[in-house]
Chain A
C-alpha cells in the first residue's frame, strides 16, 4: 500500500510533463481564432476573440491558466459539441475500456493454451501450425481483418451485428479484430519463455517429486513464464485505450479513438487535449497495475 501511494505521487511530475506537451502541441498547431471565424472576418473581431479566449497572453501565462483549469478538470468548451470537453471524453471512456479488455481477454484465452501447446510439443506439426499462424496473425492489418470478419460473420452468415455498441454480440468482432494481433505476439512470447523455463532445474525438481506433467507445466512452468507476459499485456492494454482508432472506425465503435480522430479532423482542441490527458492517465494506471501484478507473480521483486 505504501508502495502504491509512493507510485501515485511519482505519477504527478509525469502528468505535468504530459500537460506541457499537450499544451505546447496545441499552441504550435496554429491560431485557433483563424479557424473559428470566417476568413473574411474583420481584424478587430479576431483580436476581440483572441482577448476573450486569453490567446493574446504570452506562452507561460497561457500554460499556467491551462494547468489551473486542468486541476479543476476543465479543458474548455468543445467547438463542435458546445459543452465542456472532459464529460464528453469520459462518456466515451467505458466503450473504449470495454473493448480494450475484451480484446485482451480474447488474446489471453488464445495465447496461453496455444503458447504452451506449441512449446511442449516443439517442432511438431501443431507447433509449426501455431507458430505460422502467429506470424500471420501479427501480419494481418486490423482494418483488413475487421472488414473480413464483418463480411464473413455479418454479411454472409448474418450471425453478428455489423457495427455499433450495445449487446455482447456487438463486442465480439471488434474484440477479435484487436485481440488477434496481440494473441499472436503473446503466443510467441509464451512459447519462447516456456521453452526456456522447461529446461530450468526447478522443473526437473518438480518432476522428481512425482508431480503429474500437467501440474509441472501449468503450475510450475506457466507461473514463471507469465511474468514477462504481464508487461506486454499491460502495455498492449494501454495502447488499446489510446489507439484502437482503426478498429473503432471500422466497427463504428463509439469509443475514445473515434472521438479523438474526429476532434483532430475538426481541430476541436479541447477534446484533443482532454482525450490525450485521460489516455495518459490510464496508461500510467495500467503501468502501475502491471507493477503490482509483477509483485504478485514474482516474489523476487521487492516493492520497496
Chain B
C-alpha cells in the first residue's frame, strides 16, 4: 500500500493468550501502517483484537499473553525486540495511550495535575515547578477552564468529559508522535464526544501527531479518520481510506456493520443485527473466520482462508472480492 511517510508499521503481528493448554490467538497476523499526521481508525466488535493490538504496540500485554510473532516498526526500531528499559523510553514519550474509561484509567489517590506532571518528569529532566507549569499549560490546551484549580482536583471530582480531557493532556505531555486512543469517547455522552473528537483532530493538525483511533462506532470513524482498518476475529478483513470504505464497503462483515448502525435518513427502519455471534476465541472456524455468519458464504470459504488482496489501495480479505476482481480482469 502507499505508505507515504510511515511512522509505525506493523507486520504480521501475532499476540496470543494462553489459558491452560489452550491458545487464544487474539491478534493473528495483523499488518498495517500509520503515516505521520494520519488518523487511522481500527474498527471491530468487542473481542476482535483491537485493544490487544494497541497494547502490543506499547508492550503492555500482561501475562498470560505474549507477542509470538511479527514486527512493530517505529521508525526503524522494532518495538517487539526492545529491552524493558528501552520500552520505558518509548511509552508516554514517543507513543502514548488514552483509555476508554478515564475514571478507571486515572489513579484515584493522586491529583490529576500530579498525574500529568509525573508523565512529564519521567521523560524530562526539569524541576517540579516547571513540570507543574507545563502541566497547567497542557490543561489549558485541552480546553479545561480554571486549570490551576483543576490541577489540584482528584479524578472523582471531575466530570467524564473533563476526565477524558485530562487523559488527553496526559497523553500529550511527552509530545508523542503517535497517540493510541482506545475508544476514548465510548463512555461519554454525544455532545462531549463531539468536543473530544474535535480536540483530537485539532491536536493532529497542530502537531502532526498520528492517532490510532480504536472504536466500534462507525459514526465516530466518519467524523475523525483518514483511513479505516476493519478487524474481525484477530485479523484485518478490510482496509481503505475513509471515503472508499464508506462509499463502497467490500467485505461482507463491513457491510453488515454498516447495516447494523443507525442512519439519520432511515430513522423508521429496524436495525439489522449481524446473524450469529463472534466465534469463540478457543475454536475459531477453519477457512474464512467470518464464514459462520456470512450471508454470501461459498464452499471455499469454509476450508481455505482468503488473503488480504489489494485493489486500488482498498484491501479486502474475502473470496468474493478476489473472484470479482479476477472476473473483471478476464
Do the two shown chains form a genuine complex with each other?
yes
* A interface list, Cβ under 8 A from B: 199-202, 204-213, 220, 223-224, 297-300
Choose from A209, A297, A300 the contact partner of B170 (Cβ within 8 Å).
Answer: A209
Determine how close the nearest CB of chain B comes to the CB of A145; give it in whole angstroms.
Answer: 36
Verify if B3 is at the interface (C-beta below 8 Å from A): no
Residues B91 and A210 in contact, CB atoms below 8 Å apart: yes
Indicate whether A208 sits within 8 Å of B109 (C-beta atoms), given known contacts A201-B101, A201-B104: no
Verify if B92 is at the interface (C-beta below 8 Å from A): yes
Determine how close the nearest CB of chain B comes to the CB of A271; give it in whole angstroms.
Answer: 45
Q: Chain B 101-117, CB within 8 Å of chain A: the 1/0 string? A: 10011111111000000
Verify if B68 is at the interface (C-beta below 8 Å from A): no
Residues of B within 8 A of A212 (CB): 88
Residues of B within 8 A of A206 (CB): 107
Q: Chain B 164-178, CB within 8 Å of chain A: the 1/0 string? A: 000000100010000
Indicate whether A202 sits within 8 Å of B107 (C-beta atoms), given known contacts A210-B123, A212-B88: yes
Choose from B87, B89, B106 the contact partner of A205 (Cβ within 8 Å).
Answer: B106
Residues A299 and B154 in contact, CB atoms below 8 Å apart: yes
Residues B108 and A208 in contact, CB atoms below 8 Å apart: no
Choose from B90, B105, B110, B154 the contact partner of A210 (Cβ within 8 Å).
Answer: B90
Choose from A200, A207, A220, A298 the contact partner of B60 (Cβ within 8 Å).
Answer: A207
Residues of B within 8 A of A201 (CB): 99, 101, 104-105
Determine how close the nearest CB of chain B comes to the CB of A51; give it in whole angstroms.
Answer: 63
Determine how close the nearest CB of chain A comes to the CB of B110; give it in whole angstroms.
Answer: 8
Verify if B15 is at the interface (C-beta below 8 Å from A): no
Choose from A200, A210, A220, A297 the contact partner of B92 (Cβ within 8 Å).
Answer: A210
Tell me which residues from 83 to 136 in chain B have a Cβ below 8 Å from any Cβ of chain A.
Answer: 84, 87-93, 96-97, 99, 101, 104-111, 118-119, 122-123
Indicate whether A208 sits within 8 Å of B97 (C-beta atoms), given known contacts A299-B154, A300-B154: yes
Determine how close the nearest CB of chain A comes to the CB of B237; give it in whole angstroms.
Answer: 27
Determine how close the nearest CB of chain B comes to the CB of A296; give it in whole angstroms.
Answer: 10
Tell me which residues from 260 to 286 in chain B have a Cβ below 8 Å from any Cβ of chain A.
Answer: none
CA distance A234 to B74 in the complex (A): 51
CA distance A208 to B181 in the complex (A): 12
Determine how close the nearest CB of chain B comes to the CB of A57; give it in whole angstroms.
Answer: 56
Determine how close the nearest CB of chain B comes to the CB of A78; give it in whole angstroms.
Answer: 49
Verify if B221 is at the interface (C-beta below 8 Å from A): no
Secondary structure call for the A interface: helix
Residues A209 and B91 in contact, CB atoms below 8 Å apart: yes
Determine how close the nearest CB of chain A comes to the CB of B320; give it in whole angstroms.
Answer: 39
Indicate whether A224 sits within 8 Å of B109 (C-beta atoms), given known contacts A208-B91, A208-B97, A209-B118: yes
* Minimum CB distance partner of A227 in chain B: B109
Indicate whether A202 sits within 8 Å of B106 (C-beta atoms), given known contacts A210-B92, A300-B154: yes
Residues B91 and A223 in contact, CB atoms below 8 Å apart: no
Interface contacts beyond A210-B174, A299-B109: sample of 11 additional A-B pairs, CB < 8 Å, sorted by A: A199-B62, A201-B99, A202-B105, A204-B105, A209-B92, A209-B118, A209-B122, A210-B123, A211-B118, A211-B122, A223-B109
* Minimum CB distance partner of A122 in chain B: B63
A to B CB contacts below 8 Å, 27 in the list: A199-B62, A201-B101, A201-B104, A201-B105, A202-B107, A204-B55, A204-B60, A205-B170, A207-B91, A209-B92, A209-B119, A209-B170, A210-B89, A210-B91, A210-B92, A210-B174, A211-B118, A211-B122, A223-B109, A224-B108, A224-B109, A297-B109, A298-B108, A299-B108, A299-B109, A299-B154, A300-B156
CA distance A212 to B84 in the complex (A): 9
Verify if B10 is at the interface (C-beta below 8 Å from A): no
Determine how close the nearest CB of chain B comes to the CB of A302; give it in whole angstroms.
Answer: 9
CA distance A207 to B105 in the complex (A): 11
Determine how close the nearest CB of chain A comes to the CB of B329; give it in whole angstroms.
Answer: 47
Indicate whether A208 sits within 8 Å of B60 (C-beta atoms), given known contacts A297-B109, A299-B109: yes
CA distance A84 to B55 in the complex (A): 70
Verify if B52 is at the interface (C-beta below 8 Å from A): no
Verify if B257 is at the interface (C-beta below 8 Å from A): no
Verify if B58 is at the interface (C-beta below 8 Å from A): yes
Residues of B within 8 A of A211 (CB): 88, 92, 118, 122
Residues of B within 8 A of A299 (CB): 108-109, 111, 154, 156
